[in-house]
A and B are shown apart, each in its own frame.
Chain A
């Protein structure tokens, strides 16, 4: 949409940022350090806001709440690295959660598979639109998000008779902790993180994602089947969103039609704050992890402030904007 905005700003940036000093250059090269420092500052902020809050329980709760966001943002990272965006992740997550809860009577495995199928199908539709037909990701995923949400509303009215139920192991996954300390969803998030970081850095597919995001035309000329990369990319994003939805519904133990609505903005914000460029080709999942943690700790601070819900919402949005803007200036 404003892919050429960078071109416009380049001359201004060049004259303005004359000879960065050593620290700034270091931070620019190691943005993850800045993010971790910021995260640490926020944790200190929590402790200042209410002394005695930061302990092992708080830590494990933060990880517990960050995991679904982290998994959802994994998909968003993949899509953004190719220069796209997926606005259907919230609808996918809700759909997966709702299908799981209404089909739990058919057995837990079937229900989980059915939930994941939502991600697979919607992701595949997104992928076909973006990869094969060259549709703008924004509008494609907006459309499929609307479709998914609408179908869910229709489906929910047919399902009034049966009582939604969340299988026990999904409840454990979303809310339980091993030895009361290590959240179970960390056992899902950690492998996802491992696969993402090493897959993006080491696998052929991972490198292709960066390449396609950096310069699609060059990839085509080099013989890369760009559409295959993009298709798989969007399918993976859909699957991650569906899995995140399963974790979420395990945490709330109640499936409603607005379950994951509040996760759309954080899923995008975690990636942006984590330093992945929305224009593609730059960034990675390590930053997104820290981004997801920052947003979760931020929520925790806002909860401690004891402010009314709308005020929290305004502050949350404003801080996200400020962080993203500061980051954009640092890396420019």
Chain B
């Protein structure tokens, strides 16, 4: 076997391995982390799985939102503020609503999320300012709007609405929150990924110029990515309302940084075009498990943020290290 055919053999193999690493690696990591949690805390049971899924729900939505924008070659530093806006809208409108009304309000908030995302996208495309700066600034503006809607934590939602995520209707090991997550991610992301839009997103994320020259409408694709991210951010706000039962205008800040952490750990390439939504969503569960494990290990849970930051840095540094080694060869 000559060298050429050897490399030809190796590269599809490596590609298959790499693909399976991201598809199977993250769930495997989650299973391992859950097993580890069970090991350090044998009482870890169905109830803890419920609270893990419930706690991770808003972050998982934020991760999905961030993943879609980054796949299209952008970044959205306003995810947290968008979540805050939806959260305070939900909590202030649903306070005295019935369950049916709450569902109606949730639909409206979802629509508002689409509009907010569209505004982000249009400003990014039209203003010609880099997306980092635009979303940093719009995040500031959306944060102001959240404060305008609800000055301090308050509001509420009907119990029926909260129960959509809390508890477990089918089996104690299958919490509602997890179902809700799977259903909403599948309903929004799968049709996109299977459709033309999905292809366009990856094309624009991989190489804008190449996509442009192939006749892709780069600008509207980028705007659409922000629109979908707006929808997921709205879902994040709604699920945050389900998780906490109230609206908090400043609660969103956490989700901006953590959503970036989730996509980095979840295997989305920051330059765009590579990765998926499943990895970041599972990474969100992992990131939520960290403070829980720290409590079980009797360590200050505030180290959670340090670990999150360290994980981001280590993951990207490891990636950089590998490419440095490869370029040396």
Contact = CB atoms under 8 A, between A and B. Distances in A.
Interface of A: 1-2, 4-5, 7-9, 85, 125, 129, 132-136, 138-140, 142-151, 153-154, 157, 264-265, 268-269, 272, 278-279, 308-314, 316-318, 320-321, 324-325, 328-329, 332
Nearest to B257: A146
B40 interface: no
Main secondary structure on chain B at its contact with chain A? Answer: helix
B141 A317 contact: yes
B302 A157 contact: yes
Interface in B3-49: none
Given A129-B313, A147-B309, A321 B271 contact: no
Given A5-B208, A129-B313, A140-B313, A320 B137 contact: yes
B133 to A, nearest CB: 6
Interface of B: 73-75, 123, 126-134, 136-138, 140-141, 143-148, 151, 207-209, 212, 218, 257, 260-261, 264, 270-272, 300, 302-313, 316-317, 319-321, 323-324
A146 B144 CA distance: 23
Contacts of B127: 321, 324-325, 328
Contact of B309 (A9, A150, A316): A150
Of the listed residues A4, A129, A148, A316, the one surrounded by the most CB atoms of chain B closer than 10 A to its CB is: A4
Given A150-B302, A265-B137, 15 more contacts: A1-B74, A5-B208, A129-B317, A133-B321, A136-B316, A144-B313, A147-B305, A150-B307, A153-B302, A264-B136, A310-B146, A310-B151, A311-B148, A314-B148, A321-B141
Nearest to B75: A1
Given A133-B320, A135-B320, A140-B316, A145 B133 contact: no
A325 B130 CA distance: 10
Given A133-B317, A310-B147, A4 B324 contact: no
Contacts of B131: 1-2
B303 A143 contact: no
The 5 closest A-B pairs by CB, nearest first: A150-B305, A133-B320, A146-B309, A147-B309, A313-B144
Nearest to B249: A310
A317 B140 CA distance: 6
A139 B133 contact: no
A143 to B, nearest CB: 3
B260 A142 contact: yes
Nearest to B70: A1
A16 B168 CA distance: 59
A281 to B, nearest CB: 14
